Structure 1
Amino acid sequence: MDLPHQGYRASAKPRARAAPSTSDSILFDDTSSAAPAMNNPVYYTPGYNMAGPSNDVQGGAVPNNMFTDPMANAALMYGSSLANQGKDIVNKEISRYMSVNKLKYFFAVDTRYVLKKLMILMFPYTHQDWEVRYHRDAPLTPRQDVNAPDLYIPTMAFITYILLAGMALGIQKRFSPEVLGLCASTALGWVIIEVLVMLLSLYLLTVHSDLSTFDLIAYSGYKYVGMIFTVLCGLLFGSDGYYVALAWSSCALMFFIVRSLKMKILPALSSDSIGTGPSSKPHFRLYITVATAVFQPIVIYWLTSHLVR
């Protein structure tokens, strides 16, 4: 019974001696030597990648390599060329339907021009010189010539008219988003129809003039100024004030349209007497001018009468 017990104790002693092996010392040395390597940054020579992308970013090697790499430079140049080509294509497509430079011309206004233009629209009878001025065969900008058409006043007047229509409908407790949207779309649609009819008339009668599409939009959009004045007078003074303001703004706008279009549609009689055909007959041009002027009071009444009750 003692011999097995002694053998068991003898076999246990070597296991006790094997516990402090060399592997523990190696594991301890590796972890202690790896800690400084993680805490202390290691700087390498430029162009030498030793520990992957993270060490290059930490040492600042990636930005330098990216801009000095020929492939990266080629890709950057190719991307820039593609962006420039795309910009040129977009500008070309836009210029096919709308000239950006010409559109900027109609918004080249200042406060002095806006005030003088509004006075001419409401009191055109005192204005004497209606001729549009040119410089090197190019018309002067609106801020330089008060007779030049613009799109700033029609745009702001259209927005103001929509806001005023919403206020009028709200006072009468008839406001709703659908009614206001219908009012805005109707007002914009009448201008589009008027411009299209004007262009078609000039084309069918072969009338050559200096009028562009933007000019027609500007002259057609000036009616919003009279519409604002008419609605305000109707809200403040009732139906009597509305009809007085309607008569005044209609007559003023008709006078303004005739005197403005006369310089562009009605040329001098000496130039009309040359040649044959419908384009050489001034009465066709006179009919177009008068019809455009007479059409303005009808639209003003149609777009403002339902707002004043």
Structure 2
Amino acid sequence: MEINLGNQPGMQRPPLIPQPDPFGNAFYGAGSGMIRSGLGAYGEKFLGSSSEFMQSNISQYLSDPQYYFQVNGHYVRNKLKVILFPFLHRGHWTRITEPVAGRLSYKPPVHDINAPDLYIPFMAFGTYVVLTGFSLGVFGRFTPEALSLQFTKGLVGWFFQVLLLKGLLYSMGSSEAPLLDIVAYAGYAFAGMSLAVLMRIFWSYSYYFLLPWTCICMGVFLVKTMKRVLLGGARSYEKQSSTHHYLLIFMAVAQFPLLFWLGSVGG
């Protein structure tokens, strides 16, 4: 006979008590611990390798932006002399190294005249834009559109200069220079451009003497700088010295059309 107590009123079904599993809790605790420790070790390894990969690539292509703004007045004056009068620079063109955290690192610009910085390029670019706008006003051609065109032209010229230097280093088998180094070297051209545009405001004929001089000085400065980078980073420079010399000459000659295009105010 089957007795159903669940349907009778006043009767309660006794609660079901789960039977203890002598192996379940042990396996569960051990399994969860192994999973947590395994995932933690894998995550730490993955994050560590990713962090190392990111740091190595950032240091290779971008470096530390704060490094390029460690300048003072003494450095700025001497650096402008090297850019505008590279023939008078009697010192060496190699950068100074120092041990940092067990490895060699370059000294900041405030302690090394040959170190690249971004303070001069940014200040020179801003001065170039202001002087071109003032020149447009002097010659009666100032409009907001014309000033915007000069600003855009300056950025495009800076970008082309970066591509030129980066492509040159890649062709020579030395593409390890950080990107901000290349941006700094390319931006130094605006120092001479600002001087040429300024003198054109006072005497228009001086522009046709200063601009070629700026092109020559910028070409010499970049050739000296690129040879220093190549000699420091590429061992195949001596094996293909003739080809590298032609590429360096091409880079120096390319400064003429690029800087003349940047100097065509209102054109």
Normalised by the size of structure 2, how large is the TM-score? 0.69
**1:175–1:181 Cα change, 3 Å:** same
Which of 242, 245, 253 aligns to 1:294? It is 253
Which of 138, 141, 155 aligns to 1:188? It is 155
**Cα distance between partner residues in 1 of 2:165 and 2:151:** 22
Give 2:66's aligned residue: 104
- One-letter identity of the residue aligned with 2:75: Y
**Cα distance between partner residues in 2 of 1:202 and 1:259:** 13
Structure with greater helix share of residues: 1
**1:266–1:97 Cα change, 3 Å:** closer
Deviation at residue 108 of structure 1 after TM alignment:
1.1
**Cα distance between partner residues in 2 of 1:97 and 1:236:** 48
Give 2:236's aligned residue: 272
Q: SS of the counterpart of 1:263? A: helix
Identical pairs, percent: 32
Give 2:97's aligned residue: 134
**Cα distance between partner residues in 1 of 2:63 and 2:178:** 14
Alignment of 1:252 with 2:226, yes or no, is no
- One-letter identity of the residue aligned with 1:111: G
Deviations 1:228-286 (A, max 9, x none): 11111211111x211111122222111111111111124699x4389xxxxx5233433
Deviates more, 1:205-214 or 1:217-226: 205-214
For the pair shown, the structure with the greater C-alpha radius of gyration is 1
Deviation at residue 307 of structure 1 after TM alignment:
5.2
Q: Which has the higher contact order (CA 8 A, sep 6+)?
A: 2
**Cα distance between partner residues in 1 of 2:58 and 2:232:** 27
Give 1:66's aligned residue: none
Deviation at residue 151 of structure 1 after TM alignment:
0.9
Whether the 8 Å contact between 2:63 and 2:180 is mirrored in structure 1 is: no
**Cα distance between partner residues in 1 of 2:178 and 2:233:** 20
**1:258–1:202 Cα change, 3 Å:** closer
RMSD: 2.9
Deviations 1:15-56 (A, max 9, x none): xxxxxxxxxxxxxxxxxxxxxxxxxxxxxxxxxxxxxxxxxx
**Cα distance between partner residues in 1 of 2:251 and 2:228:** 14
Give 1:226's aligned residue: 192
**Cα distance between partner residues in 2 of 1:96 and 1:134:** 19
Which runs of 5 or more residues in structure 2 are unaligned?
A: 1-50
Deviations 1:154-207 (A, max 9, x none): 00000010011111111122111111111111111122123224334443x361
**1:214–1:290 Cα change, 3 Å:** farther
**1:248–1:199 Cα change, 3 Å:** closer
Listed as ranges, the matches of 1:19-38 within 5 Å are none
Which of 216, 221, 224 aligns to 2:182? It is 216
Whether the 8 Å contact between 2:172 and 2:244 is mirrored in structure 1 is: no
Which of 119, 144, 147 aligns to 2:111? It is 144
Deviations 1:45-83 (A, max 9, x none): xxxxxxxxxxxxxxxxxxxxxxxxxxxxxxxxxxxxxxx
- One-letter identity of the residue aligned with 1:243: Y
Alignment of 1:199 with 2:166, yes or no, is yes
Deviation at residue 289 of structure 1 after TM alignment:
2.5
Whether the 8 Å contact between 1:266 and 1:286 is mirrored in structure 2 is: no
**1:199–1:121 Cα change, 3 Å:** closer
**1:273–1:156 Cα change, 3 Å:** closer
Q: SS of the counterpart of 2:203? A: helix
Whether the 8 Å contact between 1:231 and 1:307 is mirrored in structure 2 is: no
**Cα distance between partner residues in 2 of 1:273 and 1:180:** 43
Aligned residues: 209
Normalised by the size of structure 1, how large is the TM-score? 0.61
Deviation at residue 144 of structure 1 after TM alignment:
0.4
**Cα distance between partner residues in 2 of 1:287 and 1:267:** 19
